[in-house]
Amino acid sequence: MKPLKIDITNIRREIAAEQSFDLKWIPGDMTWQGEPLRFRDPWHLKGRIFNEGDVLLLTADVEGNIILQCGACLESYVQDLDFPIEARLKSAPDQENPDYFVYKGNEVDLSEIVLEFLLSELPIRRRCREDCKGLCPVCGANRNDGECSCNGTKDPELTVDERLKSLRDYFSNK
Ligand SMILES: [Zn+2]
Ligand SMILES: [Zn+2]
């Protein structure tokens, strides 16, 4: 993941001072929970860091897209995301409150913070489009591309398998 550093020298020692930012950032491809997350276009981050004394308050609007895999047809698709961020930062880890992010010296690295919010915004149900038809359970063709070669004909093997399965389930519950 590419760092995204903001220089806070100007607001570090002055309570109520604020530093605004308006930047573009490409997070860099990564793997998360065994799934590849790919980024093609720059993300837009617009916000400010406000010095509250002990704590720096970060607020921002984040907008961009990520390339995910459709859960039905398995094709890659572009998922747009747009979300707000509100985070509090301290110069050292706070043992009693792990919700604080930590900054070092005169720099705040936004990348980790943005990524944490970004991951929580990922849709659980991933679809290339609302009406994705998915794969044909018989021949495996992508049904969004039109009628598949098997033409929807039911494979007799599959039908038998289904029956056997319910029979097996029936007995295993006894
Ligand atoms: Zn799909
Ligand atoms: Zn088919």
Task: Indicate which ligand has the atom closest to the C-alpha of 131.
Answer: 1
Ligand 1 centroid from CA 103, angstroms: 40
Interval 12-42: pLDDT, tens: 999 999 999 999 999 999 999 888 899 999 9
Give the residue extent of every domain in the chain.
5-121, 143-172
Residue-wise pLDDT tens digits, 98-144 = 899 999 999 999 999 999 999 999 999 999 999 999 999 888 999 99
Q: How many Å lie between the centroid of ligand 2 and the Cα of residue 161? A: 17
Nearest to 63 by CA among 34, 102, 25, 8: 25
pTM above 0.85, yes or no: no
Rounded CA gap, 85 and 47, in Å?
9
**Gap from CA of 126 to ligand 2 centroid (Å):** 22
Q: 152 C-alpha to center of ligand 2: Å?
A: 5
